[in-house]
Chains A and B, each alone.
Chain A
Amino acid sequence: MRLTRKISARLSTGRRSRFAAPAVLLIALLTVGGVVAVISPASSAKTEDDAATIAKGRDLFLVGCASCHGMNGEGIVTKRGNQYGPPLAGVGAAAVDFQVGTGRMPMAQPGAQALRKDPLYNDEEIAALGAFVQSLGPGPAVPTDEELDIAGATTEEIVRGGQFFRTNCTACHNFAGSGGALPKGKFAPSLVGVSAKHMYEAMVTGPQQMPVFSNNVLSPQDKREIIAYLKSQEEAPSYGGFTLGSIGPVAEGLFAWLGVGVLVGGGIWICSQTARSKKNSKKGDAA
């Protein structure tokens, strides 16, 4: 009972407890060994292609993910009851695409938060992993190109996106999407340069501590508008000069003190002694 509670409570999460490497290795070895033994026949309802993709995804999963998430994505709970890797049934292909596509998964090491890095898998492999996880239990799918089409966004849509952004997103990600602090060493990452697809997936799946913004409440149209707003901000020039990091008054204060430093330097120059000539000056009196 407690386990199911945990599982359902932590759908679509990436929480790790810090646990020792040896256990991981052992599990990994067992899993890799298990690959050979387990043969899963393709579902007759699916096409040959889908089945092949899922099978490929499963192969990749068993090598790269199962050590934490379990051989069938059922999740691993440590002896202390912490999540080692959360269960993946129902997180959907969108979660996989976000976590693996932004390099957050697989994690380099357990920590407060999975960090963004270069992805380890190529697009095809990510799609295969996603298909496999989707087969474990239906969840949000990877958004289609149409869902992400922001090219034709009108000014009105962009403005509304800005309103949604300021209401739902700036509290954590800051007014310019520069990111912000969360309790206990966690943080909301910067949104600058993040692809539209990954932003969309993050909203749908709620990776790590981020809450979910499901399509039933914040509709796909709303999400598209938010993304369109952010992209329009990225394209707009920095009207007032260098941005100083777009993190608000703290950076501005530091630069103000830099300005005062420069001006004090000016004052030192103004009051410094100019060069003195030795011509016409009597010898010996200089001391």
Chain B
Amino acid sequence: MSPASTNGTTPAVTKKANPAGAVATWADERLGIATATKKQIRKVFPDHWSFMLGEIALWSFVILLLTGVFLTLWFKPSMGEVVYNGSYDQLRGIPMSEAYESTLHISFDVRAGLLMRQMHHWAAMLFIAAMLVHLMRVFLTGAFRKPRELNWVIGGVLLLLGILEGFAGYSLPDDLLSGTGLRIADGLVKATPVLGSYMSFFMFGGEFPGDVIIPRLYIAHVLLIPGLLLAMIAAHMLLLVYHKHTQWPGPGRTEENVVGYPMMPVYAAKAGGFFFIVFGTVALMGGLMTINPVWRFGPYNPAEVTAGSQPDWYMGIAEGLLRIMPGWETHIFGFTISWNVFLPGQIAPIALLMVVLAYPFVEQWITGDKREHHLLQRPRNAPTRTAFLAAMITLYGLLWAAGGNDVIATTFKLNLNHITYFMRGAIFVIPPLVFILAKRWCISLQRHDNDMLLHGYESGVIMRDAQGGYSEKHLPLSPDHAYTLTARARDEVYVGINGTDANGVSAPRRALDQLRAKLSHAWFATNVQKPTAAELEEGHHHAELEHAHDAPLEGVSADGHQFDGRHDVDDEALRPNH
């Protein structure tokens, strides 16, 4: 980069008559945008549906910002008591907080206010759901591997921030459900050993519910957490641009390149169009589906509760944990430790987050793999990882269901208590079963891939040989398909250093090394590796023999055998008459 080129008195490339060009020149003379954007304008993004999942989350966030700003124009984050005098009859004359009153005002006295409230809430639900789906995609395809580990961590923090942001927003209207949610949060905080009651008093400015929690949550909800989210999303996207997007292996797609459509115009149109599709879908949801009808819950009253008191879905697993936890409490020296609240409410969510954040580093330690990875893995080619996620999803689903056990009981006419007892066991039993099942499934899919590579795919054509036996004709894969299947690294099982280099290695290090070797064995030993060139050669040899066998069919009217990829069948109908 030579500085002289930007220091010139006349812009080098813009045409004179073009007003847009004039603006660009004006900007470049002050911002140097040409240098900054020249590589980005035609930046390549690979095309695959699974790369659109994170975008749903991104666009939901933009919608949240837009609708949220609209709501702030009327919402009053105050717990000061007022008497409702708005247009919703059934609550008129009731004393309530200004927060609830202004939420009713937005819903009933601001045109499109209810729509914006509902869109805001639906977008929040989609935001976190989309983040979770995106996270699963990244996990399943190994896109978190070097050099993207930090972006994975940022993503995990984004998910946590999104959930906190959602909980704060859920609490703001000060209706019966949000108050009940805060009451439960208060219970969770109070269960903290030693500091619990102090934390609760500092949080609520005194005894629950106090009159400061909503202003405090409000500023967190509209400034602090969105600011953090915005910064983290910016970092997430910058790293995405810096690393360039991962891509699926395929012909011409290697670790050294990225193949796809340019930012301008195709990707801009696709991503921009997707923004409008997400926005439109959220608008339709907000227009047609009631969400959080606060006017039916009534203002928060600590002596009232409703059946079906639930958090929003993303808190469902914490809710489920709270519900199925047995009532354990320890009393020592006149102090109380509420395991029944502390474990599921504080320890478990943090532990879960830690597992998620640490995973890339743990896997890298086990594999010892220090290479950069830009080609994605098919989920089947990482059976242990895929099975791990399947087990985690199962656990998540079970806990989520446990969080709605009352709704399940009434909807499916089941016994509430039985569901709880079942879940207490199921969360320990079913995820491991799913793990085993998923792993075996992945391995058999790997075998299937190898079968196709070595013996061809099942054509559906039944051959009858001279002896009268029947067999299904296998046809070789197209070179592109075959290449795609083999474009993956071989897994190596790490055997450890014991015996050979063990001299001079300290005992704890050796133990760690053995652990690594054991984990590596568990991770990779049963995986099926792609065939070697020699094995493929032998496979082809077989196929050619068969081909020779079929040679007499050449030139005869098509009867099905010709549809094997080796014959020119463009002008052939399967049967001449059709």
Across the interface, which residues of A come within 8 angstroms of B53, CB to CB?
Answer: 264, 267
Q: For chain B, residues 28 to 67, give those with C-beta under 8 angstroms from any C-beta of chain A.
A: 47-53, 55-56
Q: A233 CA to B298 CA in the complex, in Å?
A: 13
- A243–B313 alpha-carbon span in the complex (Å): 17
- CB-CB < 8 A to A255: which residues of B? 285, 289
Over the window 243-287 of chain A, the binary record of Cβ atoms lying under 8 Å from chain B Cβ atoms (1 yes, 0 no) is: 110111111111111011011101110111000000000011001
Within 8 Å CB of B47, what residues of A?
A: 271
Using CB atoms, name the residue of chain B closest to A238: B290
Q: Which A residues touch B286, using CB under 8 A?
A: 241
| Closest chain A CB from B565 CB (angstroms) | 6
How many positions in chain B have a CB within 8 Å of any CB in the partner chain?
78
Question: In angstroms, how far is the closest chain B Cβ from the Cβ of A225?
Answer: 11
Q: Is the CB of A233 within 8 A of B90?
A: yes
Inter-chain contact B133/A260, CB cutoff 8 Å: yes
Chain B residues contacting A267 (CB-CB under 8 Å) are 49-50, 52-53, 55-56, 274
Hey, which chain A residues are within 8 Å of B416, CB to CB? 181-185
- In the complex, A272 Cα to B48 Cα: how many Å? 8
Q: Using known A-B contacts A181-B406, A185-B415, determine if residue A162 contacts B478 with beta carbons closer than 8 Å.
A: no
Q: A158-B90, A238-B290, A283-B570 given as contacts; is B308 within 8 A of A271 (CB)?
A: no
Task: Give the Cβ gap from B259 to chain A, nearest Cβ, in Å.
Answer: 14
Asked if A152 lies at the interface with its beta carbon under 8 angstroms from chain B, I say no
Binds B, one of A80-88, A132-140, A171-179, A207-215: A171-179
A23 part of interface (Cβ distance < 8 Å): no
| Residue B24 interfacial (CB < 8 Å) | no
Query: B227 interface residue, CB < 8 Å from A?
Result: no
Cα distance, A254 to B107, chains bound together (Å): 23
> Does residue A180 face the partner (Cβ distance < 8 Å to B)?
yes
B312 partner residues in chain A, CB cutoff 8 A: 249, 252-253
In the complex, what's the smallest C-beta–C-beta distance from B238 to chain A, in angstroms? 23
Judge whether B410 and A241 touch: CB under 8 Å: no
Q: Which of A199-241 contact B (CB under 8 A)?
A: 229, 232-233, 236, 238-241
Please tell me which one of the listed residues A170, A187, A253 contacts residue B304 in the complex, with CB atoms under 8 A apart: A170
- B296 touches which of A156, A183, A233, A283 (Cβ 8 Å): A233
Residues of B within 8 A of A158 (CB): 89-90
Q: How far is the CA of A145 from the CA of B51 in the complex (A)?
A: 65
A265 to B121, CA, bound (A): 21
**CB of A159 within 8 Å of the partner chain:** yes
B404 within 8 A of A: yes
Q: For the complex, is A188 an interface residue (Cβ under 8 Å from B)?
A: yes
B526 within 8 Å of A by Cβ? no
User: Pick the contact of A249 from B107, B311, B568 — CB < 8 Å?
Assistant: B311
Contact residues in A for B92 (Cβ distance below 8 Å)? 155, 159
Q: Report the minimum CB–CB distance from A243 to chain B (whole Å).
A: 5
Whether B292 contacts A252 by the Cβ 8 Å rule is yes
Complex: A185 Cα to B417 Cα, angstroms: 8
Determine whether the beta carbon of A271 is less than 8 Å from that of B89: no
- State whether A240 and B114 are in contact (beta carbons under 8 Å apart), knowing that A158-B90, A263-B130, A270-B273 are contacts in the complex: yes
Q: Are B52 and A244 closer than 8 Å at their CB atoms?
A: no
Is the beta-carbon distance between B306 and A171 smaller than 8 angstroms?
Answer: yes
Does A78 make an interface contact (CB < 8 A)? Answer: no
B281 within 8 A of A: yes
> Given A159-B91, A252-B291, A284-B570 in contact, is the A259-B285 Cβ separation under 8 Å?
yes
A241–B286 CA distance with the chains assembled, in angstroms: 8
A250:B404 contact, CB within 8 angstroms? yes
Task: Please state if B410 and A162 are interface contacts (CB–CB under 8 Å).
Answer: no
Residues of B within 8 A of A240 (CB): 107, 114, 118, 289-291, 293
State whether B410 touches A179 (Cβ < 8 A): yes
Q: Is B75 an interface residue (CB 8 A)?
A: no
Q: Is the CB of A171 within 8 A of B307?
A: yes
For A251, the closest partner residue in chain B by CB is B407
The dominant DSSP class at the A interface is: helix
Of residues 267 to 282 in B, which have CB atoms within 8 Å of A's CB atoms? Answer: 270, 273-274, 277-278, 281-282
Q: How far is B53's CA from A163's CA once the two chains are assembled, in angstroms?
A: 45
Chain B residues within an 8 Å CB radius of A254: 313
A283–B89 Cα distance when bound, in Å, is: 74
Q: Is the CB of A180 within 8 A of B308?
A: yes
**B301 at interface, CB cutoff 8 A:** yes
Determine whether A6 belongs to the interface, using a CB cutoff of 8 Å to chain B.
no
Listed residue (A162, A178, A184, A270) with the most chain B CB atoms within 10 angstroms of its CB: A270
Q: Assess A242 versus B290: contact at CB under 8 Å? Given A170-B304, A271-B52.
A: yes
| Nearest CB on A from B93, distance (A) | 5
Contact check, A270 vs B305: say whether CB atoms are below 8 A apart: no
Determine the chain A residues whose CB is within 8 A of the CB of B89 once the complex forms: 155, 158-159, 232
Is B296 touching A241 in the complex (CB atoms < 8 A)?
no
A249 to B93, CA, bound (A): 28
Contact A260–B298 (Cβ < 8 Å): no
Residue pair A271, B51 in contact (C-beta under 8 Å): yes
Which residue of chain A has its CB nearest to the CB of B90? A162
Residue of A170, A187, A232 most packed against chain B (CB within 10 A): A170
- A159 & B93 in contact (Cβ 8 Å cutoff): yes
Q: Is B332 an interface residue (CB 8 A)?
A: no
Asked if A56 lies at the interface with its beta carbon under 8 angstroms from chain B, I say: no
Kindly provide the distance from the CB of B113 to the nearest chain A CB, expressed in whole angstroms: 11
- Least distance between B413 CB and chain A CB atoms (Å): 8
B154 on the interface (CB 8 Å rule)?
no
Tell me if B114 and A252 are in contact (CB < 8 A). no
Residue A10 CB within 8 A of the other chain: no
Which residues of the other chain, A, contact B568 by a CB distance below 8 angstroms? 283-284
A263 to chain B: closest residue by CB: B56
Roughly how many angstroms separate A185 CA and B290 CA in the complex, as a whole number?
Answer: 29
Residues of B within 8 A of A47 (CB): none
Whether B310 and A248, one on each chain, are in contact in the complex, defined by CB atoms closer than 8 angstroms, is yes
Neighbouring B residues of A244 by C-beta, 8 Å:
289-291
B158 to chain A, nearest CB (A): 16
Are A257 and B310 in contact (CB-based, < 8 A)?
no
**Closest CB in chain B relative to A245 CB, distance in Å:** 9
Q: Is B409 an interface residue (CB 8 A)?
A: yes
> With A and B bound together, what is the CA distance between A184 and B129 in angstroms?
33
Say yes or no: is A4 at the interface (Cβ < 8 Å to chain B): no
Q: Indicate if the CB atoms of A241 and B290 lie closer than 8 Å.
A: yes
For chain B residues 122-150, which have a beta carbon within 8 Å of chain A? 122, 125-126, 129-130, 133
- Which of A162, A178, A241, A248 interacts with B287 by CB under 8 Å? A241
C-alpha gap A254/B94 in the complex (Å): 33
Q: Report A-chain residues with C-beta under 8 Å of the C-beta of B438.
A: none
A156, A250, A252, A259: the one contacting B281 at CB < 8 Å is A259
- Which residues in A have their C-beta under 8 angstroms from that of B409? 181, 185, 187
B182 interfacial by beta-carbon distance below 8 Å: no
Task: List the B side residues contacting A232 at CB < 8 Å.
Answer: 89-90
How far is the CB of B327 from the nearest CB of chain A, in Å?
A: 15
In the assembled complex, which residues on chain A have CB atoms less than 8 Å from the CB atom of B91?
A: 159, 162
Q: A171-B305, A185-B416, A259-B125 are in contact. Are A180 and B56 (CB under 8 A)?
A: no
CB neighbours (8 Å) of A236 from chain B are 90
In whole angstroms, what is the CA distance A260 to B48 when docked? 17
* 6 A-B residue pairs with CB within 8 Å: A155-B89, A175-B297, A188-B307, A266-B277, A271-B51, A284-B570
Given contacts A185-B414, A250-B404, 6 further A-B contacts (CB under 8 A): A173-B307, A176-B293, A180-B307, A188-B307, A251-B407, A284-B570
Shortest 4 CB-CB distances between A and B: which pairs? A180-B307, A253-B313, A267-B52, A256-B125
